[in-house]
Structure 1
Protein backbone atom coordinates (compact mmCIF):
# COMPACT_ATOMS: atom_id res chain seq x y z
CA UNK A 1 0.00 0.00 0.00
CA UNK A 2 1.24 3.56 -0.73
CA UNK A 3 2.23 5.69 2.23
CA UNK A 4 0.09 8.55 3.51
CA UNK A 5 2.59 11.11 2.23
CA UNK A 6 2.51 9.56 -1.21
CA UNK A 7 -1.29 9.57 -1.27
CA UNK A 8 -1.31 13.31 -0.43
CA UNK A 9 1.02 13.93 -3.34
CA UNK A 10 -1.06 11.75 -5.66
CA UNK A 11 -4.24 13.59 -4.70
CA UNK A 12 -2.73 16.81 -5.93
CA UNK A 13 -2.07 15.32 -9.39
CA UNK A 14 -4.25 15.52 -12.43
CA UNK A 15 -6.91 12.78 -12.19
CA UNK A 16 -5.78 11.00 -15.39
CA UNK A 17 -2.12 11.05 -14.27
CA UNK A 18 -3.09 9.97 -10.76
CA UNK A 19 -5.07 7.02 -12.12
CA UNK A 20 -2.15 5.95 -14.35
CA UNK A 21 0.33 6.02 -11.44
CA UNK A 22 -2.01 4.13 -9.15
CA UNK A 23 -2.39 1.47 -11.84
CA UNK A 24 1.41 1.13 -12.16
CA UNK A 25 1.78 0.92 -8.40
CA UNK A 26 -0.89 -1.76 -8.15
CA UNK A 27 0.83 -3.71 -10.92
CA UNK A 28 4.14 -3.46 -9.12
CA UNK A 29 2.56 -4.50 -5.87
CA UNK A 30 0.89 -7.52 -7.43
CA UNK A 31 4.18 -8.73 -8.82
CA UNK A 32 6.38 -7.86 -5.84
CA UNK A 33 6.19 -11.02 -3.84
CA UNK A 34 6.66 -13.63 -6.56
CA UNK A 35 9.25 -11.56 -8.37
CA UNK A 36 10.88 -9.84 -5.38
CA UNK A 37 14.22 -11.13 -6.25
CA UNK A 38 13.87 -10.43 -9.95
CA UNK A 39 12.93 -6.59 -9.64
CA UNK A 40 16.02 -4.54 -9.01
CA UNK A 41 16.01 -1.92 -6.30
CA UNK A 42 17.29 0.68 -8.69
CA UNK A 43 14.23 0.34 -10.89
CA UNK A 44 11.94 0.88 -7.96
CA UNK A 45 13.88 3.92 -6.86
CA UNK A 46 13.74 5.25 -10.41
CA UNK A 47 9.99 4.85 -10.38
CA UNK A 48 9.83 6.71 -7.13
CA UNK A 49 11.91 9.52 -8.59
CA UNK A 50 9.58 9.66 -11.60
CA UNK A 51 6.67 9.98 -9.24
CA UNK A 52 8.43 12.78 -7.37
CA UNK A 53 9.23 14.59 -10.63
CA UNK A 54 5.65 14.22 -11.78
CA UNK A 55 4.44 15.54 -8.45
CA UNK A 56 6.77 18.50 -8.75
CA UNK A 57 5.62 19.09 -12.33
CA UNK A 58 2.04 18.87 -11.12
CA UNK A 59 2.69 21.45 -8.41
CA UNK A 60 4.27 23.71 -11.02
CA UNK A 61 1.27 23.11 -13.26
CA UNK A 62 -1.09 23.98 -10.35
CA UNK A 63 0.87 27.15 -9.65
CA UNK A 64 0.74 28.02 -13.34
CA UNK A 65 -3.01 27.37 -13.38
CA UNK A 66 -3.44 29.57 -10.30
CA UNK A 67 -1.40 32.27 -11.98
CA UNK A 68 -3.57 31.92 -15.08
CA UNK A 69 -6.71 32.02 -12.91
CA UNK A 70 -5.49 35.21 -11.24
CA UNK A 71 -4.66 36.67 -14.63
CA UNK A 72 -8.12 35.63 -15.86
CA UNK A 73 -9.73 37.35 -12.88
CA UNK A 74 -7.73 40.47 -13.54
CA UNK A 75 -8.66 40.22 -17.22
CA UNK A 76 -12.34 39.86 -16.35
CA UNK A 77 -12.07 42.85 -13.97
CA UNK A 78 -10.41 44.85 -16.72
CA UNK A 79 -13.11 43.74 -19.14
CA UNK A 80 -15.77 44.83 -16.62
CA UNK A 81 -14.06 48.19 -16.23
CA UNK A 82 -13.74 48.48 -20.01
CA UNK A 83 -17.44 47.53 -20.38
CA UNK A 84 -18.41 50.30 -17.95
CA UNK A 85 -16.22 52.76 -19.79
CA UNK A 86 -17.68 51.60 -23.12
CA UNK A 87 -21.20 52.12 -21.68
CA UNK A 88 -20.21 55.59 -20.49
CA UNK A 89 -18.65 56.28 -23.86
CA UNK A 90 -21.86 55.06 -25.57
CA UNK A 91 -23.95 57.39 -23.38
CA UNK A 92 -21.53 60.21 -24.05
CA UNK A 93 -21.78 59.38 -27.76
CA UNK A 94 -25.57 59.58 -27.56
CA UNK A 95 -25.33 62.94 -25.80
CA UNK A 96 -22.79 64.04 -28.40
CA UNK A 97 -25.09 63.00 -31.25
CA UNK A 98 -28.04 64.80 -29.56
CA UNK A 99 -25.89 67.89 -29.14
CA UNK A 100 -24.75 67.57 -32.76
CA UNK A 101 -28.40 67.41 -33.87
CA UNK A 102 -29.14 70.51 -31.80
CA UNK A 103 -26.10 72.22 -33.28
CA UNK A 104 -27.25 71.19 -36.75
CA UNK A 105 -30.69 72.69 -36.10
CA UNK A 106 -29.07 75.82 -34.66
CA UNK A 107 -26.83 75.97 -37.71
CA UNK A 108 -29.89 75.66 -39.95
CA UNK A 109 -31.62 78.46 -38.04
CA UNK A 110 -28.45 80.53 -38.24
CA UNK A 111 -28.27 80.00 -42.00
CA UNK A 112 -31.94 80.99 -42.38
CA UNK A 113 -31.30 84.06 -40.22
CA UNK A 114 -28.24 84.91 -42.26
CA UNK A 115 -30.30 84.54 -45.42
CA UNK A 116 -32.95 86.84 -43.98
CA UNK A 117 -30.24 89.30 -42.98
CA UNK A 118 -28.83 89.11 -46.48
CA UNK A 119 -32.26 89.84 -47.93
CA UNK A 120 -32.75 92.68 -45.44
CA UNK A 121 -29.31 94.00 -46.36
CA UNK A 122 -30.30 93.86 -50.02
CA UNK A 123 -33.48 95.79 -49.26
CA UNK A 124 -31.48 98.26 -47.18
CA UNK A 125 -29.03 98.81 -50.02
CA UNK A 126 -31.92 99.28 -52.41
CA UNK A 127 -33.49 101.77 -50.00
CA UNK A 128 -30.16 103.56 -49.66
CA UNK A 129 -29.93 103.79 -53.43
CA UNK A 130 -33.45 105.22 -53.53
CA UNK A 131 -32.55 107.68 -50.76
CA UNK A 132 -29.38 108.63 -52.62
CA UNK A 133 -31.44 109.31 -55.73
CA UNK A 134 -33.97 111.25 -53.65
CA UNK A 135 -31.10 113.18 -52.06
CA UNK A 136 -29.76 114.06 -55.49
CA UNK A 137 -33.22 115.19 -56.56
CA UNK A 138 -33.57 117.17 -53.31
CA UNK A 139 -30.22 118.84 -53.87
CA UNK A 140 -31.28 119.70 -57.40
CA UNK A 141 -34.57 121.09 -56.10
CA UNK A 142 -32.68 123.02 -53.41
CA UNK A 143 -30.48 124.51 -56.10
CA UNK A 144 -33.58 125.49 -58.06
CA UNK A 145 -35.23 126.74 -54.87
CA UNK A 146 -32.16 128.80 -54.02
CA UNK A 147 -32.36 130.42 -57.42
CA UNK A 148 -36.07 131.08 -56.91
CA UNK A 149 -35.38 132.51 -53.43
CA UNK A 150 -32.80 134.84 -54.92
CA UNK A 151 -35.33 135.96 -57.52
CA UNK A 152 -37.97 136.30 -54.78
CA UNK A 153 -35.55 138.38 -52.72
CA UNK A 154 -35.08 140.70 -55.67
CA UNK A 155 -38.85 140.78 -56.18
CA UNK A 156 -39.29 141.44 -52.44
CA UNK A 157 -37.01 144.43 -52.69
CA UNK A 158 -39.07 145.72 -55.57
CA UNK A 159 -42.26 144.97 -53.60
CA UNK A 160 -40.98 146.80 -50.53
CA UNK A 161 -40.14 149.75 -52.70
CA UNK A 162 -43.62 149.56 -54.23
CA UNK A 163 -45.12 149.23 -50.73
CA UNK A 164 -43.34 152.37 -49.64
CA UNK A 165 -44.87 154.10 -52.64
CA UNK A 166 -48.27 152.59 -51.81
CA UNK A 167 -47.90 153.63 -48.17
CA UNK A 168 -47.39 157.20 -49.26
CA UNK A 169 -50.40 156.88 -51.55
CA UNK A 170 -52.36 155.21 -48.71
CA UNK A 171 -51.66 158.14 -46.43
CA UNK A 172 -52.97 160.49 -49.07
CA UNK A 173 -55.96 158.19 -49.67
CA UNK A 174 -56.65 157.94 -45.93
CA UNK A 175 -56.80 161.69 -45.71
CA UNK A 176 -59.22 161.67 -48.64
CA UNK A 177 -61.31 158.90 -47.02
CA UNK A 178 -61.48 160.82 -43.78
CA UNK A 179 -62.79 163.80 -45.67
CA UNK A 180 -65.27 161.52 -47.47
CA UNK A 181 -66.26 159.91 -44.16
CA UNK A 182 -67.18 163.26 -42.80
CA UNK A 183 -69.29 163.87 -45.86
CA UNK A 184 -70.72 160.30 -45.74
CA UNK A 185 -71.75 160.74 -42.13
CA UNK A 186 -73.77 163.69 -43.17
CA UNK A 187 -75.23 161.68 -46.05
CA UNK A 188 -76.08 158.79 -43.70
CA UNK A 189 -77.80 161.14 -41.38
CA UNK A 190 -79.77 162.45 -44.29
CA UNK A 191 -80.52 158.94 -45.61
CA UNK A 192 -81.46 157.74 -42.13
CA UNK A 193 -83.72 160.68 -41.72
CA UNK A 194 -85.21 160.01 -45.17
CA UNK A 195 -85.72 156.31 -44.29
CA UNK A 196 -87.45 157.23 -41.07
CA UNK A 197 -89.51 159.78 -42.93
CA UNK A 198 -90.55 157.16 -45.51
CA UNK A 199 -91.26 154.59 -42.75
CA UNK A 200 -93.38 157.09 -40.88
CA UNK A 201 -95.11 158.01 -44.11
CA UNK A 202 -95.87 154.32 -44.85
CA UNK A 203 -97.00 153.82 -41.26
CA UNK A 204 -99.28 156.89 -41.37
CA UNK A 205 -100.69 155.73 -44.69
CA UNK A 206 -101.37 152.32 -43.17
CA UNK A 207 -103.33 153.86 -40.30
CA UNK A 208 -105.74 155.32 -42.88
CA UNK A 209 -106.07 152.37 -45.30
CA UNK A 210 -105.39 149.29 -43.21
CA UNK A 211 -108.79 149.00 -41.37
CA UNK A 212 -110.86 149.01 -44.62
CA UNK A 213 -108.32 146.72 -46.37
CA UNK A 214 -108.42 144.17 -43.54
CA UNK A 215 -112.18 144.15 -43.49
CA UNK A 216 -112.61 143.82 -47.26
CA UNK A 217 -109.81 141.34 -47.96
CA UNK A 218 -109.62 139.28 -44.77
CA UNK A 219 -112.86 139.83 -42.86
CA UNK A 220 -111.02 141.44 -39.92
CA UNK A 221 -113.03 144.23 -38.24
CA UNK A 222 -111.00 146.85 -36.36
CA UNK A 223 -113.04 147.70 -33.24
CA UNK A 224 -110.80 150.58 -32.04
CA UNK A 225 -108.51 153.02 -33.79
CA UNK A 226 -105.07 151.51 -34.45
CA UNK A 227 -102.31 153.12 -32.38
CA UNK A 228 -98.57 152.96 -31.87
CA UNK A 229 -97.77 151.74 -28.35
CA UNK A 230 -95.39 149.82 -26.12
CA UNK A 231 -96.19 146.39 -24.64
CA UNK A 232 -93.86 144.49 -22.29
CA UNK A 233 -91.04 146.88 -23.15
CA UNK A 234 -91.38 146.38 -26.93
CA UNK A 235 -92.51 149.02 -29.43
CA UNK A 236 -95.60 147.98 -31.43
CA UNK A 237 -96.28 149.96 -34.65
CA UNK A 238 -99.91 148.85 -35.00
CA UNK A 239 -102.06 147.75 -32.09
CA UNK A 240 -105.82 147.54 -31.60
CA UNK A 241 -108.76 145.32 -30.74
CA UNK A 242 -110.28 143.40 -33.65
CA UNK A 243 -112.96 140.81 -34.36
CA UNK A 244 -112.77 137.96 -36.86
CA UNK A 245 -115.39 135.27 -37.43
CA UNK A 246 -117.21 136.40 -34.28
CA UNK A 247 -114.13 136.15 -32.04
CA UNK A 248 -112.39 139.17 -30.56
CA UNK A 249 -108.65 139.52 -30.23
CA UNK A 250 -105.77 141.91 -30.80
CA UNK A 251 -103.97 143.04 -33.94
CA UNK A 252 -100.20 143.42 -33.61
CA UNK A 253 -98.35 144.90 -36.58
CA UNK A 254 -94.92 146.02 -37.70
CA UNK A 255 -93.99 148.42 -40.51
CA UNK A 256 -90.85 147.84 -42.63
CA UNK A 257 -89.87 149.40 -45.93
CA UNK A 258 -88.55 146.04 -47.34
CA UNK A 259 -89.39 142.55 -46.10
CA UNK A 260 -86.27 140.82 -47.47
CA UNK A 261 -84.84 139.15 -44.34
CA UNK A 262 -86.37 136.28 -42.36
CA UNK A 263 -84.93 137.80 -39.18
CA UNK A 264 -87.71 140.42 -39.38
CA UNK A 265 -90.22 137.56 -39.05
CA UNK A 266 -88.41 136.41 -35.91
CA UNK A 267 -88.59 139.96 -34.49
CA UNK A 268 -92.35 140.22 -34.91
CA UNK A 269 -92.72 136.72 -33.43
CA UNK A 270 -91.04 137.99 -30.26
CA UNK A 271 -93.56 140.86 -30.17
CA UNK A 272 -96.47 138.44 -30.69
CA UNK A 273 -95.24 136.25 -27.81
CA UNK A 274 -94.96 139.32 -25.53
CA UNK A 275 -98.53 140.45 -26.35
CA UNK A 276 -99.98 136.97 -25.85
CA UNK A 277 -98.19 136.63 -22.51
CA UNK A 278 -99.37 140.11 -21.37
CA UNK A 279 -102.90 140.40 -22.80
CA UNK A 280 -103.77 136.87 -23.86
CA UNK A 281 -104.92 135.69 -27.29
CA UNK A 282 -105.90 135.40 -29.94
CA UNK A 283 -103.36 137.67 -31.69
CA UNK A 284 -103.33 138.38 -35.45
CA UNK A 285 -99.86 139.49 -36.61
CA UNK A 286 -99.55 141.92 -39.56
CA UNK A 287 -96.51 143.26 -41.42
CA UNK A 288 -96.94 146.33 -43.62
CA UNK A 289 -94.24 146.86 -46.27
CA UNK A 290 -93.53 148.39 -49.65
CA UNK A 291 -91.92 145.17 -50.97
CA UNK A 292 -91.63 141.54 -49.81
CA UNK A 293 -89.31 138.86 -51.25
CA UNK A 294 -91.12 135.74 -52.38
CA UNK A 295 -89.34 133.29 -50.06
CA UNK A 296 -89.83 135.55 -47.03
CA UNK A 297 -93.46 136.15 -48.01
CA UNK A 298 -94.06 132.36 -48.23
CA UNK A 299 -92.38 131.81 -44.86
CA UNK A 300 -94.59 134.49 -43.30
CA UNK A 301 -97.73 132.82 -44.64
CA UNK A 302 -96.55 129.46 -43.20
CA UNK A 303 -96.23 131.12 -39.78
CA UNK A 304 -99.68 132.70 -40.04
CA UNK A 305 -98.34 136.25 -40.39
CA UNK A 306 -100.43 138.51 -42.64
CA UNK A 307 -98.21 140.55 -45.03
CA UNK A 308 -99.76 143.65 -46.59
CA UNK A 309 -97.84 145.42 -49.36
CA UNK A 310 -98.63 149.11 -49.98
CA UNK A 311 -99.59 148.58 -53.60
CA UNK A 312 -102.47 146.33 -52.50
CA UNK A 313 -104.69 149.11 -51.05
Structure 2
Protein backbone atom coordinates (compact mmCIF):
# COMPACT_ATOMS: atom_id res chain seq x y z
CA UNK A 1 0.00 0.00 0.00
CA UNK A 2 1.28 3.33 -0.90
CA UNK A 3 1.62 5.83 1.93
CA UNK A 4 0.25 9.09 1.00
CA UNK A 5 1.76 12.35 2.09
CA UNK A 6 -1.01 12.96 4.46
CA UNK A 7 -0.63 9.61 6.12
CA UNK A 8 3.13 10.10 6.35
CA UNK A 9 2.68 13.35 8.18
CA UNK A 10 0.27 11.74 10.50
CA UNK A 11 2.69 8.90 11.24
CA UNK A 12 5.56 11.33 11.82
CA UNK A 13 3.43 13.31 14.17
CA UNK A 14 2.49 10.23 16.13
CA UNK A 15 6.14 9.13 16.38
CA UNK A 16 7.22 12.56 17.51
CA UNK A 17 4.57 12.53 20.18
CA UNK A 18 5.73 9.10 21.34
CA UNK A 19 9.36 10.23 21.44
CA UNK A 20 8.43 13.21 23.54
CA UNK A 21 6.76 10.87 26.03
CA UNK A 22 9.86 8.75 26.13
CA UNK A 23 12.08 11.81 26.94
CA UNK A 24 9.79 12.90 29.71
CA UNK A 25 10.01 9.46 31.27
CA UNK A 26 13.84 9.50 31.18
CA UNK A 27 13.96 12.91 32.82
CA UNK A 28 11.70 11.62 35.50
CA UNK A 29 13.96 8.60 35.86
CA UNK A 30 17.01 10.82 36.18
CA UNK A 31 15.19 12.84 38.83
CA UNK A 32 14.33 9.61 40.57
CA UNK A 33 17.98 8.51 40.47
CA UNK A 34 19.02 11.81 41.99
CA UNK A 35 16.41 11.42 44.69
CA UNK A 36 17.54 7.86 45.36
CA UNK A 37 21.16 9.07 45.57
CA UNK A 38 20.14 11.75 48.04
CA UNK A 39 18.21 9.19 50.02
CA UNK A 40 21.26 6.92 50.02
CA UNK A 41 23.41 9.75 51.37
CA UNK A 42 20.79 10.56 53.96
CA UNK A 43 20.64 6.88 54.89
CA UNK A 44 24.44 6.82 55.20
CA UNK A 45 24.36 9.88 57.46
CA UNK A 46 21.53 8.36 59.45
CA UNK A 47 23.56 5.19 59.85
CA UNK A 48 26.56 7.27 60.95
CA UNK A 49 24.40 9.09 63.49
CA UNK A 50 22.96 5.78 64.58
CA UNK A 51 26.49 4.40 65.02
CA UNK A 52 27.44 7.44 67.08
CA UNK A 53 24.25 7.03 69.06
CA UNK A 54 25.06 3.39 69.67
CA UNK A 55 28.55 4.40 70.87
CA UNK A 56 27.01 7.00 73.18
CA UNK A 57 24.54 4.43 74.47
CA UNK A 58 27.43 2.01 75.05
CA UNK A 59 29.33 4.70 76.96
CA UNK A 60 26.22 5.46 78.99
CA UNK A 61 25.79 1.77 79.69
CA UNK A 62 29.43 1.57 80.85
CA UNK A 63 28.98 4.67 82.99
CA UNK A 64 25.82 3.15 84.41
CA UNK A 65 27.71 -0.06 85.18
CA UNK A 66 30.47 1.89 86.95
CA UNK A 67 27.84 3.89 88.81
CA UNK A 68 26.14 0.70 89.92
CA UNK A 69 29.51 -0.68 91.07
CA UNK A 70 30.19 2.55 92.99
CA UNK A 71 26.73 2.39 94.53
CA UNK A 72 27.43 -1.21 95.51
CA UNK A 73 30.75 -0.16 97.06
CA UNK A 74 29.02 2.68 98.91
CA UNK A 75 26.35 0.28 100.12
CA UNK A 76 29.06 -2.08 101.37
CA UNK A 77 30.90 0.81 103.04
CA UNK A 78 27.63 1.93 104.62
CA UNK A 79 27.09 -1.59 105.89
CA UNK A 80 30.59 -1.66 107.41
CA UNK A 81 29.99 1.78 108.93
CA UNK A 82 26.74 0.60 110.48
CA UNK A 83 28.54 -2.47 111.85
CA UNK A 84 31.28 -0.23 113.28
CA UNK A 85 28.67 2.08 114.82
CA UNK A 86 27.01 -0.96 116.34
CA UNK A 87 30.36 -2.10 117.75
CA UNK A 88 31.00 1.39 119.15
CA UNK A 89 27.54 1.45 120.68
CA UNK A 90 28.22 -1.91 122.31
CA UNK A 91 31.63 -0.69 123.53
CA UNK A 92 29.97 2.46 124.89
CA UNK A 93 27.43 0.31 126.69
CA UNK A 94 30.21 -1.78 128.25
CA UNK A 95 32.07 1.41 129.21
CA UNK A 96 28.97 2.83 130.88
CA UNK A 97 28.51 -0.44 132.76
CA UNK A 98 32.16 -0.32 133.86
CA UNK A 99 31.78 3.32 134.94
CA UNK A 100 28.69 2.34 136.90
CA UNK A 101 30.65 -0.47 138.56
CA UNK A 102 33.47 1.96 139.38
CA UNK A 103 30.97 4.48 140.75
CA UNK A 104 29.49 1.77 142.95
CA UNK A 105 32.97 0.72 144.07
CA UNK A 106 33.79 4.37 144.78
CA UNK A 107 30.61 4.71 146.81
CA UNK A 108 31.51 1.62 148.84
CA UNK A 109 35.06 2.92 149.28
CA UNK A 110 33.75 6.27 150.50
CA UNK A 111 31.46 4.52 152.96
CA UNK A 112 34.34 2.35 154.18
CA UNK A 113 36.56 5.45 154.39
CA UNK A 114 33.91 7.27 156.40
CA UNK A 115 33.64 4.28 158.69
CA UNK A 116 37.43 4.09 158.96
CA UNK A 117 37.64 7.84 159.62
CA UNK A 118 35.07 7.48 162.36
CA UNK A 119 37.03 4.57 163.82
CA UNK A 120 40.27 6.57 163.69
CA UNK A 121 38.57 9.51 165.39
CA UNK A 122 37.30 7.21 168.10
CA UNK A 123 40.78 5.74 168.47
CA UNK A 124 42.22 9.23 168.64
CA UNK A 125 39.77 10.08 171.38
CA UNK A 126 40.65 6.88 173.20
CA UNK A 127 44.39 7.44 172.74
CA UNK A 128 43.93 11.06 173.75
CA UNK A 129 42.08 9.90 176.82
CA UNK A 130 44.80 7.38 177.61
CA UNK A 131 47.44 10.05 176.99
CA UNK A 132 45.66 12.44 179.31
CA UNK A 133 45.33 9.69 181.91
CA UNK A 134 49.04 8.91 181.66
CA UNK A 135 49.85 12.61 181.78
CA UNK A 136 47.62 13.21 184.76
CA UNK A 137 49.09 10.17 186.55
CA UNK A 138 52.59 11.48 185.91
CA UNK A 139 51.65 14.98 187.04
CA UNK A 140 49.88 13.74 190.17
CA UNK A 141 53.00 11.80 191.16
CA UNK A 142 55.07 14.94 190.57
CA UNK A 143 52.81 17.09 192.74
CA UNK A 144 53.58 14.81 195.67
CA UNK A 145 57.30 14.35 195.07
CA UNK A 146 58.45 17.78 193.86
CA UNK A 147 58.29 19.63 197.21
CA UNK A 148 60.83 17.20 198.65
CA UNK A 149 63.00 17.00 195.50
CA UNK A 150 63.19 20.77 195.00
CA UNK A 151 63.99 21.35 198.64
CA UNK A 152 66.67 18.66 198.64
CA UNK A 153 68.34 19.59 195.33
CA UNK A 154 67.87 23.35 195.05
CA UNK A 155 66.78 24.51 198.51
CA UNK A 156 63.54 25.68 196.93
CA UNK A 157 60.58 25.57 199.30
CA UNK A 158 57.13 25.48 197.77
CA UNK A 159 54.51 27.47 199.66
CA UNK A 160 52.13 24.63 198.89
CA UNK A 161 51.97 21.64 196.58
CA UNK A 162 52.16 22.57 192.88
CA UNK A 163 48.94 22.40 190.85
CA UNK A 164 47.62 22.23 187.31
CA UNK A 165 46.72 25.82 186.42
CA UNK A 166 45.31 27.93 183.55
CA UNK A 167 47.15 31.23 183.11
CA UNK A 168 46.44 34.16 180.78
CA UNK A 169 49.20 34.77 178.23
CA UNK A 170 50.37 38.02 176.64
CA UNK A 171 47.67 37.71 173.96
CA UNK A 172 44.92 37.49 176.55
CA UNK A 173 44.33 33.77 175.97
CA UNK A 174 44.27 31.11 178.63
CA UNK A 175 46.93 28.39 178.49
CA UNK A 176 47.22 25.28 180.59
CA UNK A 177 50.33 24.92 182.72
CA UNK A 178 50.78 21.31 183.89
CA UNK A 179 52.84 22.20 186.97
CA UNK A 180 52.59 25.60 188.64
CA UNK A 181 53.68 26.64 192.11
CA UNK A 182 54.94 29.62 194.09
CA UNK A 183 58.07 29.04 196.18
CA UNK A 184 61.04 30.67 197.87
CA UNK A 185 64.75 30.13 197.77
CA UNK A 186 65.92 31.85 200.90
CA UNK A 187 64.44 35.32 200.61
CA UNK A 188 64.08 35.15 196.82
CA UNK A 189 60.68 34.47 195.28
CA UNK A 190 60.56 31.62 192.78
CA UNK A 191 57.83 30.60 190.31
CA UNK A 192 57.94 26.88 189.50
CA UNK A 193 56.66 26.09 185.98
CA UNK A 194 56.59 22.59 184.53
CA UNK A 195 55.34 20.50 181.62
CA UNK A 196 54.75 16.73 181.44
CA UNK A 197 55.31 14.55 178.36
CA UNK A 198 55.25 10.76 178.31
CA UNK A 199 58.08 10.68 175.71
CA UNK A 200 60.00 13.94 175.80
CA UNK A 201 61.38 15.25 172.49
CA UNK A 202 63.23 18.37 171.39
CA UNK A 203 60.02 19.64 169.83
CA UNK A 204 58.32 19.43 173.24
CA UNK A 205 61.17 21.39 174.81
CA UNK A 206 60.87 24.18 172.21
CA UNK A 207 57.08 24.32 172.59
CA UNK A 208 57.42 24.60 176.37
CA UNK A 209 59.91 27.47 176.07
CA UNK A 210 57.56 29.32 173.70
CA UNK A 211 54.70 28.85 176.15
CA UNK A 212 56.83 30.24 179.01
CA UNK A 213 57.71 33.25 176.86
CA UNK A 214 54.02 33.93 176.14
CA UNK A 215 53.28 33.72 179.87
CA UNK A 216 56.22 35.92 180.94
CA UNK A 217 53.96 38.77 182.20
CA UNK A 218 52.52 36.34 184.78
CA UNK A 219 55.95 35.51 186.20
CA UNK A 220 56.95 38.93 187.44
CA UNK A 221 56.43 37.67 190.99
CA UNK A 222 59.84 36.02 191.05
CA UNK A 223 62.57 34.04 189.34
CA UNK A 224 61.40 31.23 187.06
CA UNK A 225 62.37 27.63 187.74
CA UNK A 226 61.62 25.48 184.66
CA UNK A 227 61.17 21.73 184.82
CA UNK A 228 59.80 18.94 182.63
CA UNK A 229 58.75 15.45 183.66
CA UNK A 230 58.66 12.37 181.45
CA UNK A 231 58.77 8.59 181.33
CA UNK A 232 61.58 8.49 178.77
CA UNK A 233 63.76 10.65 176.52
CA UNK A 234 66.96 10.47 174.48
CA UNK A 235 70.26 11.74 175.94
CA UNK A 236 70.62 14.45 173.30
CA UNK A 237 67.17 15.79 174.23
CA UNK A 238 68.13 15.82 177.91
CA UNK A 239 71.33 17.74 177.08
CA UNK A 240 69.33 20.20 174.95
CA UNK A 241 66.86 20.79 177.80
CA UNK A 242 69.75 21.29 180.26
CA UNK A 243 71.32 23.87 177.92
CA UNK A 244 68.01 25.76 177.94
CA UNK A 245 67.93 25.80 181.75
CA UNK A 246 65.27 23.12 182.16
CA UNK A 247 65.49 20.43 184.85
CA UNK A 248 64.14 17.10 183.60
CA UNK A 249 62.70 14.56 186.03
CA UNK A 250 61.81 10.98 185.15
CA UNK A 251 58.77 9.22 186.54
CA UNK A 252 60.99 6.85 188.54
CA UNK A 253 62.39 9.90 190.39
CA UNK A 254 59.02 10.14 192.12
CA UNK A 255 59.07 6.67 193.66
TM-score (norm 2): 0.51
1:273 corresponds to 2:213: yes
Task: Give 3-state SS (helix, strand or coil) of 1:286's partner.
Answer: strand
Q: 2:157 aligns with which of 199, 221, 225?
A: 221
Give 5+ residue unaligned stretches, structure 1: 1-159
Shift of 1:274: 4.5
Larger radius of gyration: 1
Go from structure 1 to structure 2 and tell me whether the alpha carbon gap of 1:201 and 1:174 turns closer, same or farther (over 3 Å shift): same
Shift of 1:242: 2.1
Task: Give 3-state SS (helix, strand or coil) of 1:241's partner.
Answer: strand
Match in the other structure for 1:199: 135
C-alpha RMSD over aligned residues: 2.8
Q: Deviations over 1:157-213 (max 9, x none)?
A: xxx9xx978776555433322222222222222221111111111111111112212
Go from structure 1 to structure 2 and tell me whether the alpha carbon gap of 1:172 and 1:291 turns closer, same or farther (over 3 Å shift): same
Shift of 1:302: 0.3
Give 5+ residue unaligned stretches, structure 2: 1-94, 169-173
TM-score (norm 1): 0.42
Bigger strand fraction = 2
Aligned pair count reads 152
| Aligned structure 1 segments of 4 or more residues deviating by more than 4 angstroms | 163-171
| Contact 2:144/2:161 (8 A) holds in 1 | no
Distance 1:242 1:287 in 2: 17
Go from structure 1 to structure 2 and tell me whether the alpha carbon gap of 1:183 and 1:300 turns closer, same or farther (over 3 Å shift): same
Match in the other structure for 1:257: 198
Distance 1:254 1:291 in 2: 14
| Contact 1:276/1:282 (8 A) holds in 2 | no
Shift of 1:243: 2.9
